[in-house]
Structure 1
Amino acid sequence: MKSPIILDRRAFLSATLGAVALGVTACAGDDAPRAALAAGAPLPESVPKGTTLVVGDKEHQKAIQFSGEAEKFTFEVEWANISGGPQTLEAFRADALDIGAVADIPPIHSHWTNIPTKIVASRFRQDPLNHAIYRLGVAPGVAVATLADIRGKKVAYSPGQAQGALVLRVLHKAGLTKEDVELVELPSTGDVYATALASHQVEVAPIGGVQVKRYETKYGREGATTIAHGLRDDPGHLYVPVTVLADPAKAAAIREYVQAWARAWRWREANPEEWIERYYVKDQGLSAEDGRWLVENAGVADIPASWTEAIARHQETIDLLAKATGNRKLRAEDLYDRRYESVAADALAAGGAR
């Protein structure tokens, strides 16, 4: 397995030149270029020799490796050290990435920014309201106990990311509009939101993962709080540029990758202590206590065999975002490649996870 790659200008240029070469010569060793795979054509089940996928899924990459799933691949994987909507879209634009792992907003923005993509795998959380990814962080000394109390407050906002969409959904639920608050555009990476709250740069911000626990612990004595938003915030997707799906070799490799992706989720749940020690403690430098909090808060992954309900929820989000941002309306159905709809669930039903 190749080492993880960190995408910089040289990597982008190299990947772009490689993509051009692929379009002319197909995979190494092929005598002639491959014909493009039509959008509605059945997925090939065998992966040609020499096929490579570049995957950006920093966290789950480790589960695929620790579980032994990576050893079974019949193709080469290059792990890209990127995550989140902005980075994956930048990499897609440069033809430097085949698969990205994101929430439900980047697939929408990819179409709005003329990078058509398709979702090929979806994961949610069982009991999503009790296992929410985010809570609304409230700055020390600021009185916000309900969603309605957000009126007039400075709210952190990251367009094009899940946190930004969550803010719009929270406002909608509270009967408020963007004009009823002061939106402060900030990147949602790392502890930026928690730091902005602590310094009163913003008064309300969606914070997720271990940042919730750390924020409450570090600033609680100063009056910092968090409140539940009461909305589903659990979608997790793998999405792929349509140009990649037109390559029959990559389309087949993606099918195999999705199967391993699903089995690795079950491995994480079946081996929580190993996952905590190897990933959260040794790889991420967290304490075992923080790791256990993250595992417990995540609950159990729901990998459905049908996307119908998920697409309906996605449509509601699209409609809200289109109205709030002035972007054109999209059909949520068009964001999904339903040839892959049952691939992950079928893999779980067939077993094979270690």
Structure 2
Amino acid sequence: MALATASRWPRGSAPLALFVGISIALLVFFAPARHAVAAKAGLALTAPLPDRVPPGIVLRVGDPVTRWVFEHNGWDKKVPFRIEWAEITGGPDVTEAFHAGVLDVGFGASVPPIHAVWMGIPVRIIAFREYADRESRQAYVFGIAPKANIKTLSDLRGKRIAFSPSQVQAQIVIETLKAAGIRREEVTLVELPSSIGGDVYTNALASGAIDAAPIRADLVAQRYIRDFGPRGARILRHPPFRDDGGNIYVPETALADPGKAAALRIFVHYWGLGQAWINAHPEELARGYYATKRGLPLADARVMASYIANVSVPRTWDGAIAYEQAAIDTLGPETKRPRLDAAALFDRRFETIAGDAAAAAKGNR
């Protein structure tokens, strides 16, 4: 196996990537490394969650979709604490923000919470969602470069594949190679972090810098084929394994603060309500957030909304824990990281909160 690092950002992604990278780096440099100090005097992680939020509590949250849903429904004004919203998304940026002590709540797929712990930042998952139709739907597909001559997954042998160790895309690559019977040394893994919009990967594919990359199966894949399909670009589904989980996760330092722990309990309740609201209002989400807020054409906005408007919020986390353990067991040996017990990543005091809220909201419709 060869691991390469991209020598430059693909065309069109450099300004944004550079701005985000510099911003996060400055936060890390100037902010205190709060995660490094054990919360010895704070709330124990086994103690019951407090019911009362004291005055002055602030939660710093980095999930733009949740922000829009909260503000659209007025929930940010109902909660007994202040929310400071941050435009910090994606596993690598959330991890950096946790490291800097400037974020309390992040959203990510299976790998970011695991990678944070591997980086020495103790975090806990406090809410989980998955596709309601996850048996038939994939969150990611493989984008194939126009001139890569890849028609099946077995053709990945000898090719250059995008690889981001701190994101779920890495898990997808490793599991796909195993399923196809391809050894790591038979491919070149190009270390390249994926952007939320997918532009880094799709630009690299279009330019021929890489041959294949796991990309979102939503608008990212549709745009890629729309723009580059006439030149020979194609999409391949990966083998049947799970790639759909989404986590709300927080640093343990936030949970050790009794006031923030109480606020997180309420936040997770409203987050569960938010998932039910999204399921019931995909058109409103498409028009209000993706079209008006993000500036997408309405047709594209509807595609994006449809991919997050059919989710389930389980009341029990046994399946979620198994999902995270699979990610640990896939990536740990391949990246030389220690094995973790996935159950220890979850704060089960929160287990039923979001699921109960989502079920109640669904029942009231």
Whether the TM-score (by the shorter chain) exceeds 0.5 is yes
Cα offset, 1:313, TM superposition: 2.1
Unaligned runs of 5+ in 1: 1-5, 25-33
Aligned to 2:252: 242
Identity %: 42
Q: For the residues of structure 2 that align with 1:326 and 1:8, how far apart are their CA atoms? A: 26
Matched, 1:151 2:143: no
Spell out the pairing of 1:271-282 with structure 2 (5 A cutoff).
271-282=281-292
Aligned to 1:264: 274
Structure 1 ranges of 4+ moved more than 4 A? 6-15
Aligned to 1:31: none
Aligned to 1:80: 86
Q: For the residues of structure 1 that align with 2:112 and 2:280, how far apart are their CA atoms? A: 30
Report if aligned partners of 1:11, 1:96 keep a CA contact under 8 Å in 2: yes
Q: For the residues of structure 1 that align with 2:112 and 2:289, how far apart are their CA atoms? A: 26
Spell out the pairing of 1:171-320 with structure 2 (5 A cutoff).
171-189=177-195, 190=197, 191-208=199-216, 209-229=218-238, 230-298=240-308, 300-320=310-330
Q: For the residues of structure 2 that align with 1:12 and 1:146, how far apart are their CA atoms? A: 42
Q: For the residues of structure 1 that align with 2:317 and 2:180, how far apart are their CA atoms? A: 28
Q: For the residues of structure 1 that align with 2:173 and 2:29, how far apart are their CA atoms? A: 36
Unaligned runs of 5+ in 2: 1-19
Aligned to 1:102: 108
The one-character-per-residue Cα deviations of 1:123-147 (angstroms, maximum 9, x if unpaired) are 1101225332211001113332322
RMSD (Å) for aligned C-alpha atoms = 2.3
Report if aligned partners of 2:58, 2:260 keep a CA contact under 8 Å in 1: yes
- State TM-score, norm by structure 2: 0.86
Cα offset, 1:296, TM superposition: 2.9
Secondary structure of 2:110's match? coil
2:172 pairs with 166, 182, 185, which one? 166
Letter in 1 for 2:343: E
Letter in 1 for 2:255: L
Cα offset, 1:110, TM superposition: 1.1
Seen in structure 2, the aligned counterparts of structure 1 residues 161 and 150 have a Cα distance that, compared at 3 Å, is same
Secondary structure of 1:53's match? strand
Q: For the residues of structure 1 that align with 2:361 and 2:79, how far apart are their CA atoms? A: 16
Seen in structure 2, the aligned counterparts of structure 1 residues 224 and 54 have a Cα distance that, compared at 3 Å, is same
- State TM-score, norm by structure 1: 0.89
Aligned to 2:7: none
Matched, 1:57 2:58: no
Q: Which moved more, 1:138-147 or 1:266-275?
A: 138-147
Aligned to 2:332: 322
Report if aligned partners of 1:118, 1:242 keep a CA contact under 8 Å in 2: yes
Q: For the residues of structure 2 that align with 1:194 and 1:333, how far apart are their CA atoms? A: 35
Seen in structure 2, the aligned counterparts of structure 1 residues 137 and 183 have a Cα distance that, compared at 3 Å, is same
Report if aligned partners of 1:100, 1:239 keep a CA contact under 8 Å in 2: yes
Aligned to 2:361: 351
Report if aligned partners of 1:104, 1:314 keep a CA contact under 8 Å in 2: yes
The one-character-per-residue Cα deviations of 1:128-178 (angstroms, maximum 9, x if unpaired) are 253322110011133323222211111011111111221112112222232
